[in-house]
């Protein structure tokens, strides 16, 4: 996974602060061997969402269990985890279609749908989301896919992250979430 120097510089009340000499996000596909890292990051982010009274459709506890993630993996879903110096820090899933948020035609839209994009709070603000999106874009290009699509909560700060990356607002979705698209 590489040897990027990461030091824990401060620990207060069980919280760690990481100081990175140099940041390299190593993104790998989730397998049986690293699924627990994926679940750990997702669970950590879910706890932060709960602690801050933020509800996200699809992020209910029953949807992010190890068993549910394993089932998705066995169904052939493309799930990825990002590591910095062997520390699991981010996740992302790429789907070929998204009936729930984008409708029945999503299978025929030549798009890849980004889900479960998450970054541990200790690593937020380091543009890791953009690095994950770069990876998704490269994946799309390699597979002759012309669009990246995603959704987020309508009043979420994530909207700025996606808009800064170049995603364009498409519409408000079924659950009141914002649907975005990036033409590649």
Residue 76 belongs to some domain of the structure: yes
Residue 176 belongs to some domain of the structure: yes
Q: Could you tell me if residue 53 is left (phi over 0), alpha (psi between -120 and 50 degrees) or otherwise beta?
A: left
Tokens of 177: 């979430």
Residue 113 belongs to some domain of the structure: yes
Identify the residue whose tokens are 């799930």. Answer: 79
Q: Tell me the C-alpha distance between 172 and 123, whole Å.
A: 29
Sheet with 78-84, strands from edge to edge, namely 26-29, 78-84, 87-95, 111-119, 147-153, 177-183, 168-172
List, as one string, the DSSP characters of 1-31. Answer: -----EEEEEEETTEEEEEESS---EEEE--
Per-residue model confidence (pLDDT) at position 23: 67
Per-residue model confidence (pLDDT) at position 77: 82
Q: Could you tell me if residue 14 is left (phi over 0), alpha (psi between -120 and 50 degrees) or otherwise beta?
A: left
Residue 1 belongs to some domain of the structure: no
Report the CATH number that the domain containing residue 139 is assigned in CATH.
3.40.630.30
Structural domain span for residue 55:
25-183
- Count of domains for the chain: 1
Output the tens digit of pLDDT for each of the chain's 184 residues: 333 333 444 444 444 444 444 568 999 999 989 999 999 999 999 999 999 998 887 888 888 899 999 888 888 789 999 999 999 999 999 999 999 889 988 988 999 999 999 999 999 989 999 999 999 999 999 999 999 999 988 777 889 999 999 999 999 988 888 999 999 9
């Amino acid at each position: 996974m590489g040897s990027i120097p990461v030091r824990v510089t401060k620990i207060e009340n069980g919280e760690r602060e990481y100081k990175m000499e140099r940041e390299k996000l190593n993104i790998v596909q989730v397998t049986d061997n690293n699924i627990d890292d994926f679940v750990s990051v997702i669970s950590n982010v879910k706890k932060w969402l709960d602690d801050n009274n933020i509800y996200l459709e699809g992020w209910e506890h029953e949807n992010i269990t190890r068993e549910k993630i394993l089932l998705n993996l066995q169904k052939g879903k493309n799930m990825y985890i990002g590591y910095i110096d062997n520390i699991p820090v981010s996740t992302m899933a790429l789907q070929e279609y998204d009936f729930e948020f984008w409708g029945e035609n999503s299978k025929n839209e030549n798009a890849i749908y980004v889900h479960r994009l998450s970054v541990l709070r200790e690593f937020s603000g380091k543009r890791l989301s953009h690095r994950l999106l770069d990876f998704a874009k490269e994946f799309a290009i390699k597979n002759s896919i012309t669009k990246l699509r995603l959704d987020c909560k309508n009043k979420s700060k994530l909207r700025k992250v996606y808009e800064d990356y170049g995603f364009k607002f498409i519409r408000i979705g079924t659950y009141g979430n914002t649907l975005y698209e990036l033409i590649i």
